[in-house]
Structure 1
């Protein structure tokens, strides 16, 4: 009887094609629980050979511990057959020929054939789905465990922008129940004046699937509104957007400190500007005073110098060495005072940036000889100045500033060197630069004081009663820099000093 029905079913060509080619496992069972048909997909799923399942009880495809109960459920189905999923809400399992058990999903259908009710079971292996579901569940459990123990506030939102989760840290901070916060309830805790910008930032980031960082004031459980930093990022599962996750930290104290610091900076900046304005005023007053005083002193000094020269003529015939000695002392003092005033004026112009360069082409050898003549009055008894030059003699340079530099360096070498000593001036003109070195065998400069060498009013402790203002080297260095050059010094106490000035040729017009 069963054999005839099988042959009758298989004679239907259309059914046969669908049955054989279906990618889901199909089993046909009669009321006695015997398998009447099994398609190739079912045979492969349960690891049976073709036609091996025909006539076998359906329970052979169930785990051992479920077989007895299944017979009862099968009888119940045939009593009231209808199309439905099998075991709704239950975990179903199948058993392969080798005894391996695996999870399945089963849908049931039925039809009548020759007055007999037959059940059709569509079986799907859901091993991968179960594994994925288990992995998702484990990850969810892990996330919730991490989130609930996190020191920062954590929230999660779904595809509708509404929040679906807040951790205990958030709830403890706000003092509210989870039911009050879900959806958009959390927004009621935001300071009203921050709410619009907060929601706009969140909505824009959500729509664009972009991360965001925002700050707003949130009401704490004690009623105080405190600054919160909220960092949100989009979440994905298998590259499918699922919503957002965010973390919040209380930054109120840091924000208050930052605002206090900014206010302090503004206050200090304003004070600094006021101090700079006062300094500028004082500098301008000083400049005006130096300029005025220098000019006011220059006139009487000129008169004194002129008068001294006239007196020299009047007493020249008397040949009185005492008078001549005093006149020479007067002229020397006037000259020193004039030099001091000139130094003040030069330094003031340098400080104000009013110094400009004026280039001329000179014969460096002749120029050096003239400078040596200029400092004759400074030369000590039996001192000699040795001039050496190497290279071309024509050079384009600001001769006024170069003259000041060399006069100052030569004068210092003579003042701080003993009698009968030799001061050497070496100049070299190469394709790149003019290099001038002034070397002596004088008292030298203490090593610990050399870092102050170019500071205003600096005088080494070993200079004793030798006259000087401490401005000369300051002006020398500034003049060298104005011409784009550099100055260096090598000195050892009681052995001598060498100053080297290098002015690059590239700056010459």
Structure 2
């Protein structure tokens, strides 16, 4: 991972520099930065974040131990990742229904970001472009309950639990590139944070992923 990160950084730096040049040129003509430039900027930032996170994702293969954990405000965490999704996929509608107040969870923020971003990415990737992605969040019994729902392009034939296996790709993934590790990473991170994750699909093709994470400072 260190080698991959090193090799990625030079081309990413070049891309980032050229985005800045293009942005500067556009701003000379228009005072507001264009949507395409914002999307490119966010995409590069996301790649840099992924590489940095990957460097310490060896924790997935060992006990995290909570040494890098801190309190993460649920609302801020959700808003940040949803905003990133809206910039990257401006044609997609992401609706948020969240009533958690000042609730927080304890965890490693880069890894938790990976969880929510992977789920939002899957939701937009495997649903019609005209359909909305619905994110709901609430607290229940000392847990944060976060659900992401989307309309699947193809009915899921697999059991939800199977899709979380490493390198397993569902039938509707044949139209998209990938290695089948996204949901596996989601489950590994969530379980190491003391939570659980489940995926269900209704007869009308609605897919829902539900994550449960312990609230910070709540004894169970």
Using a 3 Å threshold, how does the CA distance of structure 1 residues 334 and 360 change in structure 2: closer, same or farther?
A: closer
The answer as to 2:140 corresponding to 1:434 is no
CA drift of 1:483 comes to 1.0
Residue ranges of structure 2 left out of the alignment (5+ in a row):
none
Using a 3 Å threshold, how does the CA distance of structure 1 residues 392 and 313 change in structure 2: closer, same or farther?
A: closer
- 1:407 maps to 117
- 1:488 maps to 198
Paired residue total:
213
- Quote the Cα distance in structure 2 between the aligned partners of 1:504 and 1:325: 37
- Quote the Cα distance in structure 1 between the aligned partners of 2:38 and 2:203: 33
- 2:71 maps to 360
1:361–1:395 CA contact under 8 A, matched in 2: yes
3-state DSSP class of the match of 1:436?
strand
Alignment of 1:213-232 (within 5 A): none
1:391–1:430 CA contact under 8 A, matched in 2: no
Alignment of 1:85-124 (within 5 A): none
- 1:460 maps to 170
- 2:86 maps to 376
- Quote the Cα distance in structure 1 between the aligned partners of 2:14 and 2:83: 24
- Quote the Cα distance in structure 1 between the aligned partners of 2:50 and 2:216: 33
Using a 3 Å threshold, how does the CA distance of structure 1 residues 344 and 455 change in structure 2: closer, same or farther?
A: farther
- 2:104 maps to 395
2:119–2:148 CA contact under 8 A, matched in 1: yes
1:380–1:418 CA contact under 8 A, matched in 2: no
Using a 3 Å threshold, how does the CA distance of structure 1 residues 311 and 506 change in structure 2: closer, same or farther?
A: closer
- Quote the Cα distance in structure 2 between the aligned partners of 1:458 and 1:374: 27
Using a 3 Å threshold, how does the CA distance of structure 1 residues 347 and 445 change in structure 2: closer, same or farther?
A: farther
Using a 3 Å threshold, how does the CA distance of structure 1 residues 354 and 492 change in structure 2: closer, same or farther?
A: same
3-state DSSP class of the match of 2:190?
helix
- 1:472 maps to 182
3-state DSSP class of the match of 1:490?
strand
Name the TM-score, length of structure 2 as normaliser: 0.76
Higher-Rg member (1/2): 1
- Quote the Cα distance in structure 2 between the aligned partners of 1:469 and 1:496: 23
- Quote the Cα distance in structure 1 between the aligned partners of 2:28 and 2:22: 10
3-state DSSP class of the match of 1:420?
coil
- Quote the Cα distance in structure 2 between the aligned partners of 1:468 and 1:492: 24
3-state DSSP class of the match of 1:474?
helix
CA drift of 1:440 comes to 0.8
- Quote the Cα distance in structure 1 between the aligned partners of 2:49 and 2:174: 20
Please point out which of 94, 97, 101 is paired with 1:385: 94
Using a 3 Å threshold, how does the CA distance of structure 1 residues 508 and 305 change in structure 2: closer, same or farther?
A: farther
Using a 3 Å threshold, how does the CA distance of structure 1 residues 422 and 369 change in structure 2: closer, same or farther?
A: same
- Quote the Cα distance in structure 1 between the aligned partners of 2:183 and 2:75: 24
Alignment of 1:121-270 (within 5 A): none
3-state DSSP class of the match of 2:151?
coil
Residue ranges of structure 1 left out of the alignment (5+ in a row):
1-289
CA drift of 1:473 comes to 1.4
CA drift of 1:479 comes to 1.0
